[in-house]
């Protein structure tokens, strides 16, 4: 039995066909790669799915099969803006050594923290814009708040969690290659406890095999623990809506890292897309509205003992609004409201900066400026351009502030400002 290499490396997929149970993702990824650089085509792709489903393996297998040179960076290598600018951009603008084609792989981009790793996401977006090679990223949870600005610039390719059957088949191949004595029940138990993570299943298999030289059900139950998985939002909703028992519906809500507000957004948007019977929709919304009442009392009064009731309404209340149990698979996408907030994020940032800029000069609070000053400024900057130019000059407003306040009239306001500056210069010279 060879133990020279960790088995997750030794048995990593060598070809595209070796990547298990990801046919749709393979096709989407290959189509994107074949059409890369054409008008209207995204310059970057984001492969997302649960841990151990084969995201990185797929990119490596495609690179090997299609003759691409792979330039791979892990999250620990490109957290800071300087890391990306100093290493990845050079790779993005040059050709590969062994071939003219190259794939740049940024692994685990959801590991970037927008506060601790300031500028990291913005640097990746800039990298995508200037790259002369395909940029591929992987993430476990594409709906992380940190990735909202990034998702608008990439093609999202979802990858499925592997089934127990997929994991067992892969483990059987390894046992056969390593000539290990095993039985199907033991392999099924490893697969069950891995929760679809093939990487952890292979590690468990190797640990038992190297210690005991065989795989039995008793050994698996003694040494392999259940993995405590964090599910992506769309997986959690799939489990919630298809729950057979009350505890399954509750567990679905607590198995994702979405906060309470995000949970309400996801459920609110997908209740009418999942349920087809109007009566079921009404019952589900009734349960969600009761959950919202509990949530409001928790926030206003600090009554956290009501949290369990909120979960009962959000989980079992929504899941069992159906009349008859029937498993349904339907796609779940990020709520439109989240996308709208992402698209207007820069506008809100400019508004905040403008309020802070004016507050210090008017000796007023930011809230007062936003409520009582900025609305009037927006009217002035669109309908009284000469006066707007005087205000902009008097309060030292930046060009970005003027663009935000005046919209399509911004260039005219700036023109009046420049003419005013020239007139003052002439008067000083005279």
User: Distance between CA atoms of 251 and 242, rounded to whole angstroms?
Assistant: 12
Q: Is 368 annotated as a binding residue?
A: no
Name the β-bridge partners of 139.
Answer: 48
Q: Is 94 annotated as a binding residue?
A: no
Q: Is 56 annotated as a binding residue?
A: yes
User: Distance between CA atoms of 51 and 196, rounded to whole angstroms?
Assistant: 8
Distances (CA, A) of 172 to 54, 56, 205: 18, 22, 10
Distances (CA, A) of 305 to 194, 294, 309: 33, 10, 8
Give the 3-state secondary structure of residue 31.
helix
Distances (CA, A) of 271 to 206, 236, 262, 277, 284: 43, 14, 14, 11, 7
Nearest C-alpha neighbor of 63 from the set 128, 133, 15: 15
Distance of CA 363 to the CA centre of its chain: 41
Q: Is 52 annotated as a binding residue?
A: yes
User: Distance between CA atoms of 124 and 137, rounded to whole angstroms?
Assistant: 10
Q: Is 50 annotated as a binding residue?
A: yes
Q: Is 319 annotated as a binding residue?
A: no
Nearest C-alpha neighbor of 158 from the set 271, 362, 66, 21: 21
Q: Is 111 annotated as a binding residue?
A: no
DSSP 88: I
Phi-psi region of 14 (alpha: psi -120 to 50; beta: other; left: phi over 0): alpha
Q: Is 196 annotated as a binding residue?
A: no
Strands 69-73 and 44-48: unpaired
Nearest C-alpha neighbor of 105 from the set 45, 162, 161: 45
Binding residues for ATP: 49-56
Binding residues: 49-56
């Amino acid at each position: 039995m060879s133990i020279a290499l960790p088995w997750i490396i030794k048995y990593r997929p060598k070809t595209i066909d070796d990547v298990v149970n990801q046919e749709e993702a393979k096709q989407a990824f290959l189509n994107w790669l074949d059409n890369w650089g054409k008008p209207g085509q995204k310059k970057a792709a984001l492969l997302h799915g649960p841990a151990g489903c084969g995201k990185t393996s797929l990119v490596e297998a495609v690179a090997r099969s299609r003759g691409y040179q792979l330039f791979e960076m892990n999250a620990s290598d490109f957290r800071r803006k300087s890391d990306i600018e100093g290493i990845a951009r050079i790779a993005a603008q040059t050709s590969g050594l062994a071939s003219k084609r190259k794939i740049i792989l940024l692994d685990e981009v959801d590991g970037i923290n927008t506060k601790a790793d300031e500028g990291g996401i913005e640097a990746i977006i800039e990298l995508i814009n200037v790259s002369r090679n395909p940029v591929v990223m992987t993430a476990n949870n594409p709906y992380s708040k940190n990735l909202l600005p990034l998702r608008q610039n990439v093609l999202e390719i979802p990858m499925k969690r592997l089934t127990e059957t997929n994991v067992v088949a892969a483990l059987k191949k390894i046992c056969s290659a390593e000539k290990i004595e095993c039985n199907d029940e033991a392999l099924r138990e490893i697969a069950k406890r891995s929760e679809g993570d093939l990487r952890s299943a292979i590690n468990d298999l190797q640990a038992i095999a190297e210690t005991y030289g065989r795989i039995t059900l008793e050994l698996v139950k003694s040494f392999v623990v259940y993995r405590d998985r964090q599910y992506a939002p769309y997986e959690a909703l799939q489990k919630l809506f298809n729950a057979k028992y009350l505890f399954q519906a509750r567990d679905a809500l607590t198995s994702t890292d979405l906060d309470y507000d995000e949970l309400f957004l996801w459920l609110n948007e997908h209740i009418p897309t999942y349920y087809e019977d109007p009566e079921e929709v009404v019952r589900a919304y009734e349960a969600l509205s009761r959950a919202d009442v509990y949530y409001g009392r928790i926030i206003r009064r600090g009554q956290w003992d009501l949290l369990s009731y909120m979960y009962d309404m959000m989980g079992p209340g929504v899941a069992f609004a159906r009349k008859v149990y029937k498993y349904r698979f339907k796609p779940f996408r990020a709520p439109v409201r989240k996308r709208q907030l992402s698209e207007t994020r820069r506008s809100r940032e400019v508004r905040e900066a403008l309020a802070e800029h004016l507050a210090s000069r008017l000796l007023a609070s930011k809230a007062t400026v936003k409520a009582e000053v900025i609305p009037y400024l927006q009217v002035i900057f669109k309908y009284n351009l000469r006066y707007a130019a005087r205000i902009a000059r008097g309060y030292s407003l930046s060009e970005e502030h003027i663009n935000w306040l005046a919209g399509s009239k911004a260039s005219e306001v700036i023109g009046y400002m420049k003419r005013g500056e020239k007139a003052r210069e002439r008067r000083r010279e005279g």
